[in-house]
Structures are given as C-alpha cells and as structure tokens.
Copies of this chain bind each other. A is one copy, B any other.
C-alpha cells in the first residue's frame, strides 16, 4: 500500500509499504478516506523526536472498515468509522474510567498510545491507504449515514475537535462564563468553536497571525493580537479588571513571548494573570518532561519558571493532558450530524496522498494560509 513515510529530518516520501493486516483477533483494518496533517506531526518531521526512519505518519484518521478479526463483535466490514488518535484497550484502570488518553495497556511502561507518533507505541500511522486498528470494537466510532458526505467534519473527531473541547472541559467552562484561549492554531480554534457551542458569554483568542485571528473571529470569538497589545492588560481592560472565568492553553512548550522569543512560561503565566481568582485553566498544549533542544536551561529539564505564588494566592486550578477523545466523540458527532458544529471550517487544503511531501514543507514553513491540511488517500 502507499503511505507517507518518514525518511529523516524534513524528509518524507510516499512509498509502497506492506499492507496493514489483522495481527490480533480484536483488530480491524480500515481503508483511509481522509487523514490530516497535524501540528504535532511537525515535531517529528523536524527530527526533534525519537520518531524512527521508516515509520508512517498520521494520527487523525477516518475511513471504511475492510476487514475485522475473529474477536470483533460490533464493527462490521463496510462501516464508516473515525479513529481517536489515542489507542485504548478499554479494560485497564484508566480506560474503564474514560481516561483513554492514558491507556496502561497499549504502550507498556507509559500511559497513552497513538498511531504514528514518537514515544506512543509501535503503531503505524494512517497517512496511508490502510490502517490497522487495535481493539477495534473499543476504538472505532461509528458514523451515521452522512459519513461520506461530511468526512471533512467527521475526521476532526479523531483529534482536534475533541482536543479543543477538552481544553474547555479541563478549564471547567460553564455556560454564560468568559474564557481566554491562548493560541489560534487548529486546536485553539476548535476550543473557541467548543466554547461558543457550550454557551460561553465571551471568548477571547490570543495569537499573532492575521489569518488565524480572522478565523477565530469568524467562529464568534474576540481576537486579541499579541503583536499589537499586551494580551493580559487588554483582556483585563475588557473585563472590568476582573479577568475571565476560565483560561485555555493551546500552544505548548514551544510558545513564544510577545517579542517572538521562545519562553515556555509565557502562556501559563499570562493565563494565571488573566484568569480570575478561583478560576480554572485547562492545558492541552503539549509540554515535555525534557526538551534537550531548548535554549533555556529550565526548559531543557522540562521545568518552567511558573508563577506558583500568584496561582496559589488566587486559588486557581490547572488540569492538563491529552484529550480522552472517546469521552466526547459520540456527542460531538451528534452535533456535526445535527448541523450544530462545523469543524471543517478551518480547513485550508484538501490534497491527495501524493501531495503530502509538498504539504509538509509548506505547513512546516508556516506558509501563509496553510492552516489545516486534509489528505485523501482513497481519491
């Protein structure tokens, strides 16, 4: 089958690799119809991770089932399914409580597995014609009769829509409350979309790119351009000095301050300052236990010069971690089906699998207008 293969730093190619196949009775094989390039793919593309040459990219996947193992009871050949990026077993202590992002089975020795991802277990990605899905009955989200037609929306259920939603859940956002979101990349935009769906009274989105800020505004948010103002001062000013009820971190460890310098504490300390006393902060931007390539000494050790004193004094709370996709994907699917959510609004490019190398280059260069790339392996 054809697949997008990692060849080394900034080098991917579309190669023929062995077909994905049933390895355990509980597996299914899915023919990929839509699979996205994610911002986190770029960390691996740039060679800053343990991702090995020869591995296949792709953790935002959907398609049609072509084969199931002898131990699969629910999923059938022909079903349209979307796959959560995190692979869960369904029976470990974390999965059984819905914490499928921290499965203790699928990636022994750590908590959490994923397709085509550095450090997340031996699973090939879905930027390919076929994908092997472990524990298929647990991991496949069944899609309704408009699955094919609304693929560009449903594929977002694999990662960025639930991840953006998770940011607002971790923050504890309630209807009628206000929220500040740092980062207007695909996940930050999905957090803004989620906040609007949930009935937030006001959503501020902070970023430094015009096209992203424009998208945020189109989703009903108030854009805050951090190049033109200090976002903390600005948002406090717009909220009678009180700050917002909640805050979301949607950038991660490579975040930059207003001057474009990497400063891993910038977003978090800004969120402590801009969130009201007793407020909650949700963090889905990725932070790593160690980042040897960082410039700052603390950052290399995975540490941050965090405003813990202010954080404690304000009685705030922080909740973190990758999204447990299955905690939300059924309900978000229903919102798409009912026409009340439209995550595809942020897609900038729909391309064939063979266009992946070119797309990776443009996306990595942050070329203007390349906000979200969707690949169509079956086309």
Contact = CB atoms under 8 A, between A and B. Distances in A.
Interface stretch (A13-21, A309-317, A355-363): A309-317
A1 B308 CA distance: 41
Contacts of A217: none
A308 B302 contact: yes
A122 interface: no
A76 to B, nearest CB: 14
Contacts of A94: 277-278
Given A73-B105, A91-B90, A138-B90, A286 B302 contact: no
Interface string A86-112: 000111111011110110010000011
A315 B308 contact: no
Contacts of A311: 287, 320
Given A26-B73, A201-B335, 5 more contacts: A90-B96, A102-B315, A201-B331, A201-B337, A289-B313
A94 B302 CA distance: 35
A28 to B, nearest CB: 12
B176 A334 contact: yes
A123 to B, nearest CB: 15
Interface of A: 24-26, 69-71, 73-74, 89-94, 96-99, 101-102, 105, 111-112, 137-138, 170, 174-178, 197-199, 201-202, 253, 264, 268, 277-278, 283, 286-291, 298, 302-322, 326, 328, 330-335, 337-338, 340
Main secondary structure of the interface of A (DSSP, over half): loop
Counted per complex, copies of this chain come to 4
Contacts of A331: 174-177, 201
Contact of A317 (B91, B287, B308, B317): B317
Contacts of A264: 308
B307 A289 contact: yes
A313 B340 contact: no
Contact of A315 (B99, B317, B340): B99
A73 B71 CA distance: 12
A329 to B, nearest CB: 10
A302 B102 CA distance: 32
A302 B230 CA distance: 21
